[in-house]
Amino acid sequence: MQWFDEYCDAAARTDQLTHRPNHVELLACGLFGEVGSLLTELKKERRESEAYPSYRNRVREEAGDLLWYLARLLKILAPRDYLNSTSPSALKVKGNDGVLAAAFSLGKSAGCVLETIHEQSRDNTVAHLQAIWERLQEIVNLLGLDLGEIAQENINKVLNRWPNEKTLTPFFDDNFSEEEQLPRKLLVEFRPTTIGEKELILLRCNGLNFGDRLTDNIDDPDFYRFHDVFHFAYVVFLGWSPVTRHLLRCKRKSNPSLDENEDGARARIVEEAVSAIVFSRAKEMHYYEGIEVVDYDLLKTIEEIVNGYEVERVALWQWETAILQGYRIFRQLRNVNGGKVRLDMVNRELAFEALSYRKPDSPAGGLAVRCQP
């Protein structure tokens, strides 16, 4: 089966576990987990029926993830003859009952794979993997899906997260005039100040304040008052930030549709939602200190939130870069309670600089303006 051979080669190029000493064991755990996820989707459909409209899409995704682990294990354990059967056995039961029966058999075989790998019984492991292959095809066929299409969708999904070559998405405002572009270079001050017992942050550029005076807005202080740095990270590494466009008055008003739909209030709410959700996860992980990856489930959540907006075209690895770099600067701002942040969209760089002034006793006034480099 040519498409499966090509898929196995593509899956091998995207395997992030290759250099682990327990590579096969980790792949087997992943296989078992994906079988469980697929069975969960089948269960949800039985429970919620028409109230679960995303069922078929979720099955396609879970089947693709399962296929990835299956392809890796078959290629490693049986590289010369990894499929004795290229088509599923005759379907004995049709419809939903057939899907459920095949799913039970799939789960049983997945458990046997873990057992035989633990026992280092290669031939038995391959036999169970081949049984999973047959049951997966059976389920897909009963649901009227195409496994070859699912395989291609899965590779596209994996490359979105772990590409062989990283190609940056062009800026969304490249074809607009300078006054409607996000500033390609910018220096922003995060100035600390207090009102009574409240600690606030003022944003300043070219000696003028812009945006709101920010507090943590929570009983347990967590330095969220510095969160605008995340929007600036989106500017640099995604070329996107409706919030920053609003703050700096560089909305694309020459295009009424973009002005309303991409740069408007709803888009800003979406961006703030992304920042808040990521922040809640980051707090549990010491704000990504010493961590070089963002978990895939969080990235998938972001992908779902921004669906329908221009930024949906940005690859997940770019989101990961924006998050990690944004939190790198956030930690520096937090540690010294303020500073300067230099944005460089041209070179895709975000840098921290210390403030060189004495903290004022009270906030200065100012007007929101578009800041020049």
Q: What is the pLDDT of residues 272-305, one digit of tens each?
A: 999 999 999 999 999 999 999 999 999 999 999 9
Locus of tokens 């036999």: 127
Whether residue 65 is predicted with pLDDT greater than 50 in this model: the reply is: yes
Give CA–CA dist 299/19, Å, rounded.
Answer: 24
Locus of tokens 């930030």: 241
Mean pLDDT for the stretch of residues 85-94:
47
Give CA–CA dist 191/361, Å, rounded.
Answer: 11
Q: What is the pLDDT of residue 149?
A: 96
Residues 221-259 pLDDT 10s: 889 999 999 999 999 999 999 999 999 999 999 999 999
Phi then psi dihedrals of residue 134, to 5 deg = -65, -45
Locus of tokens 């560089």: 250
Range of weakest confidence among 37-46, 63-72, 171-180, 306-315: 37-46
Would you call 267 helix, strand, or coil by DSSP? helix
Q: Is 69 exposed, middle or buried (0-12, 13-18, 19+ CB in 10 A)?
A: buried
Q: pTM to 2 decimals?
A: 0.84
